[in-house]
Structure 1
């Protein structure tokens, strides 16, 4: 059975510190790029949803204008009389 030695403990602590600081360094380099990609993707998603909403509303407005363009029959009942108030 092997026993733990003091040098093995020091080596382990050393490698943990080296890995920790190397990961921090790499993340400082890569984090701006990753964040930029996430923001760009969210922006594209936002503009896509906005375009869908705009297209949906314009189609709905076109349907309403088509219905309004049809002439309506109007029945003339009689003459229009304008009443004035007398004091």
Structure 2
């Protein structure tokens, strides 16, 4: 009877401690996984803070583009009955 009581007490203590420390352990595991992923894929890429309504253009358009009227061949389609 004493052995059964000890086993039950250990089970309840383990269950209580698991609920107490599980969030902390999960947070640490998630941080480790995030660090591994950052190392594997080149680290953090932070985006600059942009105010609402502000527009940012990453690259300038090419200025030497010339429009050509000779874009393609004109095809005249006819209806087939």
- What's the TM-score once normalised by structure 2's chain length? 0.50
Larger Rg: 1
- What's the TM-score once normalised by structure 1's chain length? 0.47
Larger relative contact order (CA 8 Å, sep ≥ 6): 2
Q: Could you say which structure has the higher helix fraction? A: 1
